[in-house]
Structure 1
Amino acid sequence: MKLHQLQALIASAETGSIRAAARSLDISQAAVTKALRELETSQQLPLFVRTPSGLNFTEYGKVLLTHARLVLKQLEHAQTELDYMRGKAEGRLCVGVTPWIALTFLPEVVLAFRERMPEVKLELFESLMAVAQPLLRDGSMDFAIGQLHPSQATQEFACETLLDYQTSVLLRQGHARQGAQSIHDLLDQNWTLNYAPDGHDALMQDLFWKHGAQLDEKRIVRAHSLAILQMLVERADMCTWGPSILSIAPPFLGRVVSLSMIEQFEPRQLSIVSRRNSALSNPAVCFTECLLQVIRRHARSAKKEHRQLFETLRLLV
């Protein structure tokens, strides 16, 4: 396999057609077609199917595409490292950020990072882990700041734990069940939850099953963004579960309440999550350093609003 063949493969996947891939690579359609044909011939496997609407990738093609993206991402990291050694901190950094960090510490982190590495192009995702995991797998995302279940951490992802945070059931301010003291009091309610594709059973176990509760799963709406989840909680009277800190972070403050219940939920860990056996680039290390500096500064602060944040957090580094 040659680099230009992998570039043609990725461009074809991202643009959906050979013509668009040629435009994005600034080469001829014939050159893209030749590169793809050579790739298929060398592997002796069908990688894609041409259709009137564009290219559809076979299972073989999808596997190769994932690895091709990782190869190009590693080359991009190598270029970034060399630029850094030359005294030029350039390149691109893509980070997934769990929503409650985005609502609290992120603005200060971004300002600190931009001051240290102004030439690096920064791209941020709202990193509910359901969104982050596929991007981490194919190398589109450098790392995520979020929570990963321990069983996943031992397989394909590595975690550097930063802090513990408490979780709770969250309801709209003024909800009819705001006084509920047990998860069993909420089993007749509709819920909106977020979880990764392989995280369903772990969430159900932690939230319901281990407390002897069985929720009819037809009552669950799976939300893939914080905005959707918030709207369903505030305007559809749904219950949710998440970091307790959300109830005191804008835009939730005064609109969502954290319930105190007899059931105890295990604290979750906020971690730097990356692909296993993949070293972070210098810009990635810089971003994590800025994050830690901001969190530690807030932890030491005497301001009331900062002290409130750490009522449900415990710094581990």
Structure 2
Amino acid sequence: MKLHQLQALIASAETGSIRAAARSLEISQAAVTKALRELETSQQLPLFTRTASGLNFTEYGKVLLTHARLVIKQLEHAQTELDHMRGKAQGRLCVGITPWVALTFLPEVVLAFRERMPQIKLELFESLMAVAQPLLRDGSMDFAIGQLHPTQSTQEFACETLLDYQTSVLVREGHARRHARSIHELLEENWTLNYAPDGHDGLMQELFWKHGAQIDENRIVRAHSLAILQMMVEQADMCTWGPSIVSTAPPFLGRVVSLGLTEQFEPRQLSIVTRRNGALSNPAVCFTECLLQVIRRHARSAKKEDRALFETLRLRL
């Protein structure tokens, strides 16, 4: 396998056609076609099929595509490292950010990072782990700042824990069940929850099953973004479960409340989540350093709003 063949494979997947791939790579269609044909010939496997709507990748092609992206990502990291050593830091950093961090510390972190590495192109994802995992898996995302549940694939991913945070059941201010004191009082309510594909059972165990509660799962709407969760809680009167800090952070302050249930939930961990055995680039290390500096500054603050934030957080590092 050669580098230009992998680049042609990735461009074809991202653009959906050989013609568009050629435009994105600024080479001829014939060159892209030749590279893909040589790749298929060398592997003696069908990697994709042509259809009227574009290219469809076979299972073989999808596997190779994942590894091709990782190879290109590592080469980008190498180039960034060398540019940094030459004093010409350039490149791209893609980070997944769990929503509650985006609502609290992120703006300050980004400003600090931009001051230290202004030449790095920064791309941020609202990173519920259901969104982040596939992007981490295929190398599209450098790392995520979030929670990897213990039941999720620790063989694939590595975690460095930054802090612990409390979780709770959350409802809108004024919800009919806002004074509930047990999860059993909420089993007839509708819920909206977020979880990764391999995190369903772990979440059900933590929220319901270990407390002897059984819920009709038809009552649960699975949401893949914070905006959907917010609308379901505020406009559709649904219950959700997440970081207690959400109820004290804008834009939820005064709109969403944390219920004081008798059932206790295990603290969760905010971690730097990476592909196992994948080294962080210098820009990635810089971003995490900026994050820690901002969090520590707020942890030491005497401001009322900072004290409220850290009532449900415990710094690890």
Q: What TM-score, normalized to structure 1?
A: 0.99
Residue in 2 that maps onto 1:242: 242
Structure 1 unaligned spans of 5+: none
* Counterpart-to-counterpart distance in 2, 1:154 and 1:250: 32
Deviations 1:153-178 (CA, angstroms, capped at 9, x unpaired): 63110100000000000001000010
Q: Which runs of 4+ in 1 moved over 6 A?
A: none
Which residue identity lines up with residue 250 of structure 2 in the other structure?
P
Task: Check conservation: 2:151, 2:202, Cα contact below 8 A.
Answer: no
Aligned partner letter, 1:228:
I
Distance 1:83 1:153 in 2: 34
User: What count of residue pairs does the alignment treat as equivalent?
Assistant: 317
Counterpart in the other structure of 1:178: 178
Corresponding residue for 1:47? 47
The alpha carbon displacement at 1:150 in A equals 2.0
Which one-letter code corresponds to 2:229 in the other structure? L
SS in 1 for 2:242: strand
1:12 match: 12
Task: Tell me, yes or no, if the aligned pair for 2:132 and 2:144 is still in contact at 8 Å.
Answer: yes
Q: Does 1:189 align with 2:189?
A: yes
In 1, Cα distance between equivalents of 2:259 and 2:227: 21
What is the CA distance between 1:314 and its match in structure 2?
0.2
How many angstroms does 1:88 deviate by?
A: 1.2
Aligned AA (1:62): K
How do 1:1-317 residues align onto structure 2 when only pairs under 5 Å count? Answer: 1-152=1-152, 154-317=154-317
Letter in 2 for 1:239: C
CA distance in 1, matches of 2:294, 2:216: 42
Counterpart of 2:117, as a letter, is M
Assess if the C-alpha contact under 8 Å between 1:83 and 1:90 holds in 2.
yes
How far residue 152 of structure 1 moved from its aligned partner, in angstroms, is 2.9
Asked whether the 8 Å contact 1:153–1:159 carries over to 2, the reply is: no
In the alignment, structure 2 segments of 5+ residues that lack a partner are none
- Check conservation: 1:192, 1:238, Cα contact below 8 A: yes
Q: CA deviation at 1:24?
A: 0.5
1:186-239, Cα deviation, whole Å (9 max, x unpaired): 000000000000000000000000000011000000000000000000000000
Output the amino acid matched with 2:254.
G
Q: Give yes or no for contact 1:172–1:234 (8 Å, CA) kept in 2.
A: yes
Partner Cα distance (1:22, 1:46) in 2 = 21
- Alpha carbons 1:16, 1:55 under 8 Å: kept: yes
**Deviations, residues 43-88 of structure 1 (Å, cap 9, x unaligned):** 0000001111110000000000000000000000000000010011
In the alignment, the residues of structure 1 paired with residue 154 and residue 32 of structure 2 have an alpha-carbon distance, to the nearest angstrom, of 39
Instruction: Tell me the SS of whatever aligns to 1:151.
Output: coil
CA distance in 2, matches of 1:8, 1:150: 37
